[in-house]
Amino acid sequence: MKKISSLIKNIYNVINENKKINFIIIIALSLLLFGCGKKEKIYEDTTNDFINNKTVINVYDDVYMKDIVEIINDDINITSTNYKIDTTKLGSQDLEVYYEYENKKYVYKYQIEVVDVEPPLVFSGTEKTVELNYDGDVCDIITYGDNYTGDVNCTIDGEYDLSKVGTYHLVYKLSDSSNNLKEVNVTLNVTDNIKGPIYTPSEKTYFSDIYSKHKTDSTEIGIDVSKWQGDIDFEKVKDAGSTFVIMRIGVQKYSGGELNIDEYYKENIKKAKSAGLKVGVYLYSIATNVDEAISHANWVINALDGVSLDLPVVFDWESWSDWNSYKISFYDINNIANTFIKTVENSGYQGMLYSSKFYLEKIWTNKYNFPVWLAHYIEQTNYEGDYIIWQMCNNGRINGIYGDVDIDIMYKK
């Protein structure tokens, strides 16, 4: 003990005499004096008599260690099963499972492979018409995308001549970065007389009829509006039975463009609140990366300027016809939506995702279970997912608005 006390005293004297001594030297001396502590031995399991493990995992699956490890001996205690596996990148990963058996600690090392087995998805019609001498990319006359890659490879089997009027039957071969293949038959019409769509007046959906059919103690009937509805008499809208309105606060007119406030937003929110209607807002966004999503969410928050809302701030992304040009994956667009909504919610507002039935079923994963505003123009939707609001038509008529308006049904919790 005298020797140890003497050594400690000498170290103390050195520190006092030279204040600039490297602290690392002091730590080293202390470790030499007292040691690093005894480490518990961990044995490596090379036989794997106790554990079965899943070695192939699909990309983007939500997987935890406990999901891929199966205990086949009840006498062992696995101590590392609650952490999440990174499935966002393809390829192999080295993993370790720690467990205890007969008062000893073991580690079992193994490898998993993250794979993509999902082929590209076509989400447009497969009969297309182009003008004679069309100079665009024939691959882009249909719309397609992929869960993992934003750059789907397209090749075409079959003969066609864009300088000759005719109908050509082609086979599009779409492959992703994992060589998953999707083949689709496409009819290409080349014509020298492209006609615009013929306008045929549609039957109108009257708010009073929707109210009579769908209003219950657990529903509210409302509308959503933008500048296209022009000047609105919200007092008449309320008298017609509407209890809420979701209004466009802003719009991005083209990819990469600035956001513009809806020309009627300020007037609409003032008058709707004055009439006693519940109010929510939506942003029409064409964000193609998470930084842009954050920027768009902050733009909405600033535009709201602290105003209270009864209903959510809605992320409305529906620029699907130009999807090929954006070079993003379905994972990317989901990440964009999630980022926007989380940013909005971090500011104190509630967020919501808007989309049609097809894209909710095929592309949106909504992994965080955000409230959904469903667009499905049909007498009775057969969408089986969860939704809070159903936009059931875009040809509605209601007192207080000249022309068509979307009619919505909101379901109370």
Q: Give dist(CA 281, CA 257) in Å, integer.
A: 20
Residue 350 lies in a domain: yes
Encoding tokens for residue 363? 């592309």
Residue 197 lies in a domain: no
pLDDT at 33: 47
Q: Which of 255, 233, 252, 229 is nearest to 242 (CA)?
A: 233
Residue 75 lies in a domain: yes
Q: Which of 396, 394, 404 is nearest to 208 (CA)?
A: 396
Cβ pair 81, 99 in contact under 8 A: no
In sequence order, what are the beta bridge partners of 390?
Answer: 374, 409
**Whether residue 66 sits in one domain with residue 147:** no
Encoding tokens for residue 183? 């083949």
Q: Give dist(CA 92, CA 84) in Å, integer.
A: 16
**Whether residue 91 sits in one domain with residue 130:** no
Specify the residue for token string 């894209």. 359
Residue 168 lies in a domain: yes
What is the chain's Cα-based Rg?
31
Cβ pair 370, 212 in contact under 8 A: no
pLDDT at 409: 98
Q: Give dist(CA 107, CA 137) in Å, integer.
A: 55
For 10-38, the three-class secondary structure string (H helix, E strand, C coil) is: HHHHHHHHCCCCCHHHHHHHHHHHHCCCC
- Rounded to 5°, angle at Cα 190 from 188 and 194: 115
Residue 230 lies in a domain: yes
Cβ pair 200, 392 in contact under 8 A: no
**Whether residue 156 sits in one domain with residue 136:** yes
Residue 274 lies in a domain: yes
Cβ pair 396, 206 in contact under 8 A: yes
Residue 198 lies in a domain: no
Encoding tokens for residue 23? 């602290």
**Whether residue 369 sits in one domain with residue 223:** yes
**Whether residue 63 sits in one domain with residue 29:** no
| Residue 348 DSSP label | T
* Type of residue found at 10: N
In sequence order, what are the beta bridge partners of 296?
Answer: none
Within 10 angstroms of residue 163's Cβ, the number of other Cβ atoms is 8
pLDDT at 27: 47
Residue 29 lies in a domain: yes
Cβ pair 21, 14 in contact under 8 A: yes
pLDDT at 3: 47
**Whether residue 376 sits in one domain with residue 343:** yes
**Whether residue 129 sits in one domain with residue 61:** no
Q: Which residue among 115, 144, 176 closes a domain?
A: 115
Question: Residue 68 is part of a domain; what is its CATH number?
Answer: 2.60.40
Question: Residue 406 is part of a domain; what is its CATH number?
Answer: 3.20.20.80
97 backbone dihedrals φ, ψ, rounded to 5°: -115, 125
Q: Which residue among 191, 224, 243 closes a domain?
A: 191
Distant-in-sequence contacts of 65-72, Cβ < 8 A, 24+ apart: 65/95, 65/97, 68/112, 69/97
Question: For residue 275, what are the domain limits?
Answer: 205-411
**Whether residue 271 sits in one domain with residue 149:** no
**Whether residue 366 sits in one domain with residue 238:** yes
Which residues, 6+ apart, have CB-to-CB distance to 320 below 8 Å? 123, 124, 143, 359
Mark 168-207 as b/e (b = at least 16 C-beta within 10 Å).
bebebebbbebebebeeebebebeeeeeeeeeeeeeebbb
pLDDT at 365: 96
Encoding tokens for residue 141? 């006359």
Specify the residue for token string 């989380």. 342
Cβ pair 148, 87 in contact under 8 A: no
**Whether residue 109 sits in one domain with residue 142:** no
C-alpha distances in Å from residue 172, one per residue of 57, 129, 162, 188, 322:
29, 16, 16, 11, 18
Mean pLDDT for each consecutive 10-residue tract of the chain (413 residues)?
Answer: 49 51 49 53 74 84 85 74 87 88 85 95 96 96 97 97 97 98 98 81 93 98 98 98 98 97 98 98 98 98 98 98 97 98 98 98 97 97 98 98 98 88
Specify the residue for token string 């971090």. 346
Q: Looking at the 3D structure of the chain, how many domains does it have?
A: 4
**Whether residue 159 sits in one domain with residue 88:** no
Specify the residue for token string 């929110």. 269
**Whether residue 328 sits in one domain with residue 240:** yes
Encoding tokens for residue 171? 């086979």
pLDDT at 13: 56
Q: Which residue among 115, 148, 173 closes a domain?
A: 115
Q: Tell me how far the alpha carbon of residue 46 is from its chain's centroid.
A: 41
